[in-house]
Amino acid sequence: MEYVIRPESKITARHYDVVICGGGTGGVFAAIAAARAGAKTALIESKGYVGGIAAEGGCGLHSFFNLWKAFPGVEKRMVVRGIPEEMIQRLTQQRGASGHNDTVLRYEYDSDTLCVDVEVYKFVALEMLREAGVHVMLNTMAVDALVSGGRIQGVITESHQGCEAVMGKVFIDATGFGDLSARAGASYTEPNDYAVANSMGVGGIDIDKYYSFLRDNGALKEYARGPRDGRSNQIIRVDGDWENITEELGQKTRELGMHTVTTTLHDNYFMFIKLNYMMPKTPTDRDALADAEFELRRRQREALELLRKTIPGAENAFISRTAPTITIRRARCIECEYDISNEEILNATHFDDEIYSYGFHDYAPRFQVKNGGTYGVPYRAIQVKNLENLFAIGMMITSDHNAHMSTRNTVSCMAMGQAAGTAAALCAKQGISNVRDLSYSVLHDALVFANVWFDKEHP
């Protein structure tokens, strides 16, 4: 490898209380919470919109509720509230979300079905950030960190207007990839334990016909009903066991890494069809990632052909949306002060310093939180080890793969974002230099004030 020395240069510096890198699923809520709590807040996002995988790859948002239907007699409880639920209400009013609907079949996986229209989501998320007074830096990449004495002083960014330093008091890494933590010297692993994906929207394809086709072939696996194009009680989520239709179809979907579940809010539109690919290397490897981008677009074309041939009336289906880049289930796993285990999740463990409650597990029904209950995520779980003023949120925490299958889900990332943004704002306001020194009761009360639900306090 040949090296060059980059000359030092003088760059513009801007100052904030709270700086969040990554305006995706978790980062949006961190920024709104920080700004609402009175912090001068910057959100740095590399793409031209916010929302991340919630607006690109997440099929249904899992989950605001406990698994009440799977455990007869258990009370139905909305266990994530606060800003995430506020956004869902706003989206639903604008026909950008289905609201909460009972899952009819396969409710032991998620008893609630919530689908979003990704384009409305991108707009509403940005609208809420602007209303909160966040300085949203779109098309801006965080490329480096200025660190001294175990504290991040600033983030170096690149945008079309050049290189800048975004200085702050408290930082939140919400990049999914863990870019800020890695640049700041945090310890991390790269397990490469998931397939990467690109999801596509498919137009010219009828979800009712797909539902009937699966049902008539004895392949219907799950479905839910809700509002669709202004009419209630319509199919909004459906999936089937394609190998039950023919062995060949089962084989083909496996080869393509095609998840056949889809959600929608519109007639004649499959909002999400996911193609998956297991990369030979970690997604932080640039060239391997470029190969994967190509491979997934190739798979999308093949999957479209398969849908056209298989589903009645879909002969003229077309790809109407793809994610602009690959979506990952994880890249770097950042070492934090506490690492929640799958046993703690399954045993519905709550903690003295918890920041939100959660009840969904993506391996359900194999793994379910005991008795349809919830567990708590402790404040320590988002404090990055050896850095005084950095939180890591979203898919980057939790090293145990099985436990990660719970904490990484969209609604968990949203709740984590609200908690981190609130804590960051409190630290900045109170002049606390090490986030570990923030009084838990002050944080707890601020979260309760902002409508965060602590499930253990509502037996």
Ligand X SMILES: Cc1cc2nc3c(=O)[nH]c(=O)nc-3n(C[C@H](O)[C@H](O)[C@H](O)COP(=O)(O)OP(=O)(O)OC[C@H]3O[C@@H](n4cnc5c(N)ncnc54)[C@H](O)[C@@H]3O)c2cc1C
Taking CB atoms, the residue at the shortest distance from ligand X is 24
Q: Min. distance of Cβ 388 from ligand X in angstroms?
A: 21
Q: Annotate 241-265 with b (16+ C-beta within 10 A) or e (fewer).
A: bbeebeeebeebbeebbbbbbbbbb
Task: Please return the burial class of 354, using the count of CB atoms within 10 Å of its CB with bins 0-12, 13-18 and 19+.
Answer: buried
Single out the residue of 61, 125, 128, 345 in contact with ligand X (rule: CB under 6 A). 61
Q: Min. distance of Cβ 215 from ligand X in angstroms?
A: 22
Strand 170-173 vs strand 390-392: parallel, antiparallel, or unpaired?
parallel
Q: According to the binding rule CB under 6 A, does residue 40 interact with ligand X?
A: no
Q: Min. distance of Cβ 300 from ligand X in angstroms?
A: 13
Single out the residue of 19, 279, 328, 447 in contact with ligand X (rule: CB under 6 A). 328
Site string for ligand X, 401-430 (x = CB under 6 A): -------xxx--x-----------------
Q: Min. distance of Cβ 397 from ligand X in angstroms?
A: 9
Q: According to the binding rule CB under 6 A, does residue 106 interact with ligand X?
A: no
Q: According to the binding rule CB under 6 A, does residue 60 interact with ligand X?
A: yes
Q: Which is nearer to ligand X, 197 or 426 (CB)?
A: 197
Q: According to the binding rule CB under 6 A, does residue 154 interact with ligand X?
A: no
Q: According to the binding rule CB under 6 A, does residue 21 interact with ligand X?
A: yes
Query: Would you say 33 and 417 are in contact if contact means Cβ atoms under 8 Å apart?
Result: yes
Q: According to the binding rule CB under 6 A, does residue 398 interact with ligand X?
A: no
The answer to whether the peptide bond before residue 72 is cis (omega within 30 degrees of 0) is no
Single out the residue of 92, 101, 327, 418 in contact with ligand X (rule: CB under 6 A). 327
Single out the residue of 19, 37, 174, 258 in contact with ligand X (rule: CB under 6 A). 174
Select from 35-43, 176-184, 210-218, 435-443 the region that touches ligand X (CB under 6 A): 176-184
Query: Would you say 351 and 364 are in contact if contact means Cβ atoms under 8 Å apart?
Result: no
Q: According to the binding rule CB under 6 A, does residue 178 interact with ligand X?
A: no
Single out the residue of 17, 45, 239, 388 in contact with ligand X (rule: CB under 6 A). 45
Q: Min. distance of Cβ 437 from ligand X in angstroms?
A: 26
Single out the residue of 65, 394, 419, 424 in contact with ligand X (rule: CB under 6 A). 394
Q: According to the binding rule CB under 6 A, does residue 184 interact with ligand X?
A: no
CB atoms within 10 A of CB 185: 13
Q: Which is nearer to ligand X, 382 or 413 (CB)?
A: 413
Cβ neighbours for 445, distance < 8 A, ≥ 6 positions apart:
none
Distance (Å, whole) CA 106 – CA 377: 26
Select from 5-13, 21-29, 218-226, 279-287 the region that touches ligand X (CB under 6 A): 21-29
Q: According to the binding rule CB under 6 A, does residue 47 interact with ligand X?
A: yes
Q: According to the binding rule CB under 6 A, does residue 142 interact with ligand X?
A: yes
Q: According to the binding rule CB under 6 A, does residue 283 interact with ligand X?
A: no
Q: According to the binding rule CB under 6 A, does residue 444 interact with ligand X?
A: no
Task: Please return the burial class of 310, using the count of CB atoms within 10 Å of its CB with bins 0-12, 13-18 and 19+.
Answer: middle
Q: According to the binding rule CB under 6 A, does residue 168 interact with ligand X?
A: no
Select from 23-31, 217-225, 237-245, 336-344 the region that touches ligand X (CB under 6 A): 23-31
Residue count, binding to ligand X (CB under 6 A) = 39
Q: According to the binding rule CB under 6 A, does residue 79 interact with ligand X?
A: no
Select from 112-120, 173-181, 342-350, 367-375 the region that touches ligand X (CB under 6 A): 173-181
Q: Min. distance of Cβ 228 from ligand X in angstroms?
A: 18
Q: According to the binding rule CB under 6 A, does residue 57 interact with ligand X?
A: yes
Task: Please return the burial class of 99, using the count of CB atoms within 10 Å of its CB with bins 0-12, 13-18 and 19+.
Answer: middle
- The residues binding ligand X (CB under 6 A) are 21-27, 44-47, 52-54, 57-62, 141-142, 174-177, 179, 197, 199, 274, 327-329, 394-395, 408-410, 413
